[in-house]
Amino acid sequence: MNRPTLRDVAERAGVSVSAVSYALNENSTFPLAEKTRARIRRVAREIGYVPNSLARSLKNRTARLVGVILDKPLANPRYAAIVEGLSRGAAEEGFQVVLLTSRDHGSGVDAVRGGQLDGLVFIGHDDHVVPEALAAAVAEHAIPFGAIDCGRADAAPPYTAVDLDYAAGVDLVVERLAADGIRAVTYVRPDLLSHAERVREQAMLDALTGRPEMSLSVLQTGVTAERLGGFERTGDYAAYRAELGARLAAALERVSTPPAQTAFVCSWGSDVETVLATVRRQDPGYRVAGLNRGALEPAQWPGLIHAEMPLGEAGRACAAAVVRTARDNAPAVHQMLPPALVG
C-alpha cells in the first residue's frame, strides 16, 4: 500500500494541494482559516499522511534519542525493569533513551519537534494514562509515540500501545492452586480502584465462579492512592507492613480450612514477603502466591508461586516500535503481553 500523499489529503479535505501544504507547515505564515487548517490536519491524521520533509528529517536525524515520560521513582523495581527494557529495545535499534524528569509533557513534544528527540514513550501506572493534551499533541504533530501499561492495547489507539495481561496472571495462579488441591483463597489487595486492580479482581471472581469447590474471601490492605504516594516519597514501609501483619493475623483466626488447602493470593508482589512471613509463622503449610513478582525467589520458598509480568519485554517492544515509526514510518504496534507462572 502506497503512503498517502498531499493530493490524497487535499481531495479528502476538499481543498487545494497548496492549502494542505500551508496547513501542515508549522512555519507557514499564510493566512489560512483556523477551521480549514484544523480540518486538513484531522484528515491527514485519519489517512496516516506524514509530510515528506518530516519523514526525511526523521530518517536523517542524528539525535537517536527517545524520551521517556515517567513520574514514578526508578527505585521502584517495577519501573526500573520497564526502563531497563526500554533501554535495551532502543539500543537494539541503535538508539538511546533519556528520562524526562519534568511533568510538563509539552517540553517532550517540543523536543521531538525541535529534533532533540526522535520520539516519546509514556509509562502509565494505576489509572494514570496518557493525558488528553499529550495524545492530542502527538496526533497533531505526527510524533512517534508509545504508551506502556495504560490499558489501551485492545482499544487500538492511533499510537503504539504495549500492555500487560493482568487477567491471564490471575488465571495462571488460580489454575495452579486448584491443581494443588487448594479449596480456600484469601485475596489480599489494596484499597485502590485502578485499572489493573479492577481487572485482577474481576478475573479472580470469574476464575473462582467456575470452580465451586473453591471459596473466596478478600482482605484489603488499607493502602489508598494517598498512602501509596506517601510510601514513594519517604520509602518507609515499616508501619504499613506491621499493619498488614496484624490484619493477616486477624484473618487467620477466621480460617476454617486446613493450611494445606488454604492460599493467600497477593495482588501486589511487594506484599508477598509480609504475607508469607505472617501466615507461615502460624503454619508452614499455608500457600502464598503473588500476581506480580515480589522480592522473594520462589526456588528458595517451597510452595511460593507468582505470575511474572513481562515488564522488561514491554519496555523493549515499545521502544523498538517507536524507533521504527520514527526511522521507517512503520505503523503503530498494539500488544497485550501475557505473564509467566514462576514457582
- Domain holding 72: CATH number? 3.40.50.2300
| pLDDT given at position 57 | 47
- pLDDT for position 111: 84
CA distance 136 to 132: 6
CB 122 within 8 A of CB 145: yes
Do residues 65 and 327 touch, judged by C-beta distance below 8 A? Answer: no
The pLDDT value given to residue 50: 63
Is 56 inside any structural domain?
no
Burial 295-326 (b: 16+ CB within 10 A, else e): ebebeeeebbbbbbbbbbbbbbbbbbbbbbbb
Residue 172 and residue 203 in one domain: yes
Q: Do 232 and 304 lie in a common domain?
A: yes
Same-domain check for residues 17 and 78: no
pLDDT over 90 for what percent of the chain?
Answer: 49
Residue 115 maps to a domain: yes
pLDDT at residue 153, as a whole number:
54
pLDDT tier for residue 341 given thresholds of 50, 70 and 90: very high
Reported confidence tier of residue 66, pLDDT bands at 50, 70, 90: very high
Name the more confident of 12 and 185: 185
For 142, left (φ over 0), alpha (ψ -120 to 50), or beta?
Answer: left
Mean pLDDT of the chain: 86
Q: Residue written as cell 538508539? A: 95
Q: Hey, which residues does 266 pair with through a beta bridge?
A: 188, 290
Any alpha helices (H) in the chain, and if so which ranges? 6-13, 17-24, 34-47, 52-60, 77-92, 105-113, 132-140, 166-179, 195-209, 225-234, 238-252, 272-282, 311-328
Kindly report which listed range (60-69, 170-179, 193-202) carries the lowest average pLDDT score: 60-69
Q: What is the distance between the alpha carbons of residues 191 and 31, in angstroms, rounded to a whole number?
A: 54
Q: How confident is the model at residue 192 (pLDDT cuts 50, 70, 90)?
A: confident
> What's the structural domain count of the chain?
3
Q: What is the mean pLDDT of residues 151-163?
A: 79
Highest-pLDDT range among 193-202, 297-306, 311-320? 311-320
pLDDT confidence tier of residue 114, bands split at 50, 70 and 90:
confident
Q: Is residue 175 part of a domain?
A: yes
Q: Tell me: do 30 and 154 sit in the same domain.
A: no
Look up the pTM and report it.
0.78
Residue 160 sits in the same domain as residue 172: no
Asked if 81 and 148 sit in the same domain, the reply is yes
Asked whether residue 250 falls in the same domain as residue 116, the answer is no
Let me know whether 216 and 150 are in one domain: no
**129 close to 150: Cβ distance less than 8 angstroms:** yes
What pLDDT, on the 0 to 100 scale, is given for residue 181? 96
My answer on whether 122 and 198 are in the same domain is no
Would you tell me the crossing angle of helices 34-47 and 6-13 to the nearest 10 degrees? 120
Task: Please give the residue range of the domain that contains residue 44.
Answer: 6-49
The residue with greater pLDDT, 138 or 32, is 138
Q: Is the pLDDT of residue 26 over 90?
A: no
Helix then strand count (H, E) for the chain reads: 13, 12
Mean pLDDT check: name the lowest of 5-9, 130-134, 204-208.
5-9
Are residues 295 and 193 both part of a single domain?
yes
101 burial (CB, 10 Å; 0-12 / 13-18 / 19+) is: exposed
Least confident of 127-136, 163-172, 211-220: 127-136
In the predicted structure, residue 27 carries a pLDDT above the cut 60 = no
| Domain membership flag for residue 291 | yes
- The rounded distance, in Å, linking the Cα atoms of 170 and 329 is 37
Considering the domain boundaries, does residue 1 fall inside one? no
